[in-house]
Amino acid sequence: MSYTRPSANSFFEKIRRLLTVNPESNTGVPITGTYRTPAPGSQPKTYVHPLTKHSDLAQNYYFGRDARRNFPRLAVYTQNDVAKLIVASNLKSISAGGGGSNESTQVATIPEDLSLTEVIAFGPALYSHEKLPPIPGRPSYKWKKSEDDVETQPGTYWPIQNIT
């Protein structure tokens, strides 16, 4: 017996079989009391949110949760810090670029007192006459007109140009 159809010997089931095009079709309406037991509203277990360290408001202060006052913090770099970063990047590029797998890598120590002008003057040249730095305001790409573009007639109210 299906949970959506009453037994075949009931009076209304016999009438339904006589009047339908396909007597074996199912209406899909469940019979009361034969489907979904226990009912979803009567289930005893409910979800309990697990306790974490953020659940305790005594240890989770409001100023730590408030994102409105999460301002960017000021970072101060001295010339000595910048010189160390430049020397470290030069050492990294030298160790990555040269040397085979048979050579043992040596750990280079960076001195504490570095002058930025000395590091820039005696370090490897970043740019030369052959390798110039990028010039701002001059794009390195050229716009070209699309081959699919149809020429617009002069005097068109909204002319459209396809540029790729």
Q: How is residue 40 annotated by DSSP?
A: G
Does 68 map to a domain? Answer: no
Q: Name beta bridge partners: 145.
A: 163
Does 66 map to a domain? Answer: no
Q: Model pTM greater than 0.95? A: no
Does 111 map to a domain? Answer: yes
d(CA 123, CA 129) in angstroms, rounded, equals 17
Does 54 map to a domain? Answer: no
Find where tokens 């309406």 sit.
Answer: 29
Does 158 map to a domain? Answer: no
Does 47 map to a domain? Answer: no
Chain segment 15-72, per-residue pLDDT in tens: 888 887 777 766 666 666 666 666 677 777 778 888 888 888 888 888 888 888 778 8
Q: Which range marks the domain in which residue 31 is found?
A: 1-38
Q: Per the structure, how many domains does the chain have? A: 2
Name the pLDDT band for 159 (thresholds 50, 70, 90).
low
Q: Structure tokens of 136?
A: 């701002």
pLDDT at position 63 is 83
Does 19 map to a domain? Answer: yes
Chain segment 101-135, per-residue pLDDT in tens: 555 556 667 777 888 888 888 877 777 888 888 77
